[in-house]
Amino acid sequence: MLTVSEAQRREFLDFERNEFTEHRVYARLALAAKHPHNRAVLTHLADMEHAHALFWKRYTGEDVRPHAFAIFWYPFLAKLFGLTFAIKLLERSITYEETRYRALVAEFPDIAPILEDEETRENEIIEMLHDPFLINASSIVLGLNDALVELTGAMAGFTFALGRTDVIAAAGLITGLSASLSMAASEYLSTKSEESNRNPFAAAAFTGAAYLAVVLLFIAPYLFIANPYIALGILGIEAFIIIALFSFYRSIARGLSFVKQFLEMALISLSVALLTFLVAVAVRLWLGA
């Protein structure tokens, strides 16, 4: 064991635990990976993090336990949202650690290779992953964007024009199912005609599923709440939550600005909903209903 102060040893124990945790996370992801290339990349990352943990052990002289929650949390996120999202979220959570490494390089020059791994090589390796979620992200965006824009407007119009929540829910379901099938078919034809490695069936499925998920969420308030305007208000909250969650996903997976993504999607959806609502008001007044 190399000699360091007690305060430094405690800090290095924290480094060792974090590196060992990452090693265990990558090892679990590698075991679950079905794609051979992903398995090889994740195994390499696991080995790299294990080497980092052993490096810090030279200073601490102790074996550490990993953070148990992280070992289950990140593989769970990978199953739901894809490998790239889970891994980049893991890497983002330790950005502060890189700053601490950088501050120690002058006193401990042998940290430099680890810092280089954290800053460059790991990100380069992560970009090599084959991630169906990320490959089909454009299809998911298409389904979500269209559903948010079209359905917020349609449901706002139905709310004022029809009045009854059961009728509004039925109209929204019929409109949404028809639109989701139409969007899926269009995405299939569009993907099939373009020169890319995307699977047309997968692209269509992602688009249709994203659209349908929004449909089901948007009609749910009208099935359980008698007042259509309260139901519409809940729909608006749902829309903002969906926009926020997907903007967060894209900001992590694609390295984009969360604020820009959120404001752009929210502004478009809200503008269309407001315009459609005003049209419904004008039509109802014109018909004298």
Residue 24 predicted with pLDDT over 90 = yes
Q: Which of 14, 23, 26, 28 is nearest to 64 (CA)?
A: 14
Q: How far is CA 207 from CA 158, 216, 263, in A?
A: 24, 15, 22
SS (H, E, C) 134-179: HHCHHHHHHHHHHHHHHHHHHHHHHHHHHCCHHHHHHHHHHHHHHH
Q: Out of 5-19, 92-106, 169-183, which region has the weakest mean confidence (pLDDT)? A: 92-106
Tens of pLDDT along 210-251?
A: 888 888 998 999 988 889 889 888 988 888 888 888 888 777
**Hey, what are 219's tokens?**
């009609």
pTM greater than 0.85: no
DSSP-derived secondary structure letter, 110? G
Query: What is the rounded CA–CA span in Å between residue 187 and residue 250?
Result: 20
Query: What is the rounded CA–CA span in Å between residue 149 and residue 63?
Result: 54
Mean pLDDT to the nearest integer, 158-171: 84
Tens of pLDDT along 33-84?
A: 888 888 888 898 899 899 999 988 888 888 888 888 999 999 998 887 778 7
DSSP 210-274: HHHHHHHHHHHHHHH-S-HHHHHHHHHHHHHHHHHHHHHHHHHHS---HHHHHHHHHHHHHHHHH
- Band (288; pLDDT cuts 50, 70, 90): low
Residue 160 predicted with pLDDT over 60 = yes
Q: b/e string for 207-220 if b means 16 or more Cβ within 10 A?
A: bbebbbbbbebbbb
- Band (286; pLDDT cuts 50, 70, 90): confident
- In the chain, what's the furthest Cα-to-Cα distance? 87
Mean pLDDT to the nearest integer, 153-160: 79
Q: Out of 47-51, 62-66, 95-99, 150-154, which region has the weakest mean confidence (pLDDT)? A: 95-99
Residue 95 predicted with pLDDT over 70 = no
**pLDDT at 123 (0 to 100):** 67
Q: Out of 6-15, 23-32, 43-52, which region has the weakest mean confidence (pLDDT)? A: 6-15
**pLDDT at 195 (0 to 100):** 66
Residue 127 predicted with pLDDT over 70 = no
Residue 280 predicted with pLDDT over 90 = no
- Give 133's contacts (C-beta < 8 A, 6+ positions apart): 81, 82, 83, 84, 85, 140, 253
**pLDDT at 94 (0 to 100):** 65
Residue 173 predicted with pLDDT over 60 = yes
Q: Which of 207, 204, 212 is nearest to 188 (CA)?
A: 204
Other CB atoms closer than 10 Å to residue 257's CB: what's the count? Answer: 13
Q: Out of 8-12, 109-113, 245-249, 282-286, which region has the weakest mean confidence (pLDDT)? A: 282-286
Mean pLDDT of the residues in the chain: 81
Alpha carbon of residue 103 to chain centroid: 32
Residue 263 predicted with pLDDT over 60 = yes
Q: Which of 71, 50, 56, 47 is nearest to 9 (CA)?
A: 56
- Band (27; pLDDT cuts 50, 70, 90): very high
Other CB atoms closer than 10 Å to residue 173's CB: what's the count? Answer: 16
**pLDDT at 134 (0 to 100):** 66
Alpha-carbon torsion (190, 262, 127, 78), positive or negative: negative
Mean pLDDT to the nearest integer, 272-285: 71
